[in-house]
Amino acid sequence: MRTKSKQKVWKKKKTIGDRISSGFIGIILTIIVIITIYPFWHVLMYSLSDSKASMGGGIFLYPRDFSILSYQLLFQTEQIFVAFGNTLFKTIFGTALSVILTALTAYPLSLPRFKGRGFFSMMIFFTMLFSGGMIPTYLLVKELGLIDNYLVYILPGAMSAYDMFILRNFFQSLPPSLEESAFLDGANAFQIFYKIILPLSKPVLAAVTMFYGIGNWNSYMDGVLYVNKSDMQLLQVYLRQLITAAGGKGALGDLSNLGSAAALTEDTMKMTVIAVSVIPVLIVYPFLQKYYTKGVLVGSVKG
């Protein structure tokens, strides 16, 4: 029988100074966590409180006179589901197209053998510094026939120059020997990109996907400038209308036939609207957080 030798691990005893510094760091980090989390908790607890009970203000660690009336009124309007579906469409299909176009653009620009990559990189970088402005952009979108068209949610902002450079920098950091050995084995450029480069790029692709996804989910100006039809309304635009209605009427009464809508205050509707728009992102983020941090750091190593 093989006998496993036991290795003694000597641990350095912590001095009083080490314990004080560790405790101080722990206190600082705890305060930072509380400061970061509490605003979201406050919004959620406020939205779940009765409007009259919450008018006193102060700190909300738990709901005051628990009530989901604001959520009931919000989700009993058909338009909320229409707007939610439109935003979901923009987030899913817009993000997918954006990631594909960004990766297909970044990979050639990362290859030293690609002639003119410096010129094209400079042209893309130029768009980060200067833009045509709101009115010229609107006129261009109108001439392309994208007004009141679902494609206006996807095509105008299909690629971000910032995200493209993150991907390009990551592709440049990969060893050239990977591509060379694949060429010797008979693989073409597309096979190398699809079977070798992309699988190695999962962290940075996840980070870029999160950038695009959050941007599409929070999109507001697209729905304001380029869409006039109510059945194409985005969630953020509709939620903004709810806040405006609550501010003008003091409640959601003009958007619902329920008499109990008069019991809601403007602040309650604001908190409910914020919770509805933020919670989906908070649910998805923890699953991508590890890729997000790693992807951004790796993608910014090499210029």
Give me the DSSP letters along 200-248: HTHHHHHHHHHHHHHHHHT--HHHHHS---GGG--HHHHHHHHHHHHHH
In this structure, are residues 253 and 262 in contact, taking their beta carbons and an 8 Å threshold?
A: yes
Spell out the CATH class of 74-176+202-303: mainly alpha
pLDDT, residue 260, reads 53
251-256-260 Cα angle (round to 5): 60
pLDDT for residue 294: 61
Mean pLDDT by 10-residue block, N- to C-terminus, for the chain (303 residues)? 46 73 90 88 85 75 81 81 90 93 91 86 88 86 90 89 89 83 81 86 86 88 88 86 62 47 70 83 74 58 46
Tokens of residue 274, six digits: 């914020």
Distance, CA of 267 to CA of 56 (rounded, Å) = 12
User: Which residue reads 């079977």 in tokens?
Assistant: 195
Is 47 in contact with 70 (CB distance < 8 Å)?
yes
Beta strands in 128-188 (DSSP E): none
Tokens of 99: 């990631």
Rg of the Cα atoms in the chain: 26
- Phi/psi class of residue 11: alpha, beta or left (left: φ > 0; alpha: ψ in -120 to 50)? beta
- Which of 105, 123, 291, 146 is closest to 211 using CA atoms? 291
CA angle 246, 248, 250 (to 5 degrees): 50
Residue 93 has what pLDDT? Answer: 93
Predicted confidence at residue 246, as pLDDT, reads: 61
Residue among 242, 208, 67, 225 at smallest CA distance from 146: 225
Provide the angle, in degrees to the nearest 10, between the axes of the packed helices 117-129 and 161-173: 140
Per-domain residue ranges of the chain = 23-67, 74-176+202-303
Quote the longest CA-to-CA distance of the chain. Answer: 83
Tell me how long the chain is.
Answer: 303
pLDDT of residue 94: 92
